[in-house]
């Protein structure tokens, strides 16, 4: 089950965190993985880890907000691999602020990466999938479903991701292209550790525990747990699933009352 041999996967933001976990898992299941990340060094490190485990992967520096860059990279991939079977739109940036404290610059930055970046990959990859179908997975967030303090711009972008997921799933049913999204709650990634260290110096342990307990299950998710769901949704075992948003949130949406 969950065999990805002879499949080509594109994973954006695969140089760290959730994207890294997805790239490593997909490669271990036999996929040829192309990691697109603005952090080229991070992407290269993940590729080296995959190759040490006898996997097949490539690292490409990419600004997903640039349509020209995305188009050129996808063209290169399809020339080498002939097809793209899986697309994981994972690249994203975060921001703390409400409608008053969010600057136009930050609002535009989040839109360009989290929304336009997803569009750019969909726009470039879907034509490559139309001949034989494929699986698309977008990374949304519980912030698209519930109100979270000081996540104004971030919530906006993730709600847009859910909307693009549903629209894409509907538009490409006849081409056997499936499109779903995952909505994680807080996941323990290097970003979280960096955020705590920057904003709560000297109180790292206390804040980590406080943030962990915002999930009813009592802890943050691990990147591998998100990757496991991603593998299922992108595998042939999930061929009857499209147009769905999957919360993976330790009870955050339904049990936080």
Q: Which residues are catalytic?
A: 154
Q: Phi and psi for 116 in degrees, rounded to 5?
A: -65, -35
Cα(196)–Cα(138) distance, integer angstroms: 26
- 38-42 contacts at long range (C-beta below 8 A, 24 or more positions apart): 38/62, 38/63, 38/64, 38/91, 39/15, 40/15, 41/15, 42/15, 42/16
Cα(215)–Cα(3) distance, integer angstroms: 32
H or E stretch covering 167 = helix 152-171
Mapping DSSP to helix (H, G, I), strand (E, B) and coil, where does residue 242 land? coil
Reference 33, options 90, 115, 113; nearest CA is 90
Are 21 and 224 contacting, i.e. CB atoms less than 8 angstroms apart?
yes
Cα(84)–Cα(142) distance, integer angstroms: 28
């Amino acid at each position: 089950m969950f065999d990805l041999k002879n499949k080509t996967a594109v994973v954006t933001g695969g140089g760290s965190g959730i994207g890294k976990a997805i790239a490593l898992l997909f490669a271990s299941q036999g996929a040829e993985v192309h990691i697109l990340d603005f952090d080229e060094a991070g992407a290269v490190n993940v590729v080296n880890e995959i190759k040490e485990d006898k996997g097949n992967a490539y690292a490409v520096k990419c600004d997903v907000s640039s349509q020209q860059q995305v188009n050129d990279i996808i063209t290169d991939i399809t020339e080498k691999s002939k097809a793209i079977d899986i697309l994981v739109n994972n690249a994203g940036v975060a921001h703390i602020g409400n409608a008053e404290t969010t600057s136009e610059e930050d609002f535009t930055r989040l839109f360009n990466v989290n929304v336009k970046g997803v569009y750019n990959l969909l726009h470039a990859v879907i034509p490559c999938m139309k001949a034989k179908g494929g699986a698309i997975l977008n990374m949304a967030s519980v912030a698209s479903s519930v109100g979270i303090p000081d996540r104004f711009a971030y919530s906006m972008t993730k709600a847009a991701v859910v909307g693009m997921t549903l629209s894409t799933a509907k538009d490409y049913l006849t081409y056997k292209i499936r499109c779903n999204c995952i909505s994680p709650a807080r996941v323990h990634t290097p970003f979280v550790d960096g955020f705590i260290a920057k904003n709560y110096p000297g109180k790292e342990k206390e804040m980590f525990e406080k943030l962990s307990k915002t999930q009813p299950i009592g802890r943050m998710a691990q990147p591998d747990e998100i990757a496991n769901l991603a593998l299922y949704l992108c595998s042939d075992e999930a061929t009857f699933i499209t147009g769905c948003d999957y919360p993976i949130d330790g009870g955050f949406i339904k049990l936080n009352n």
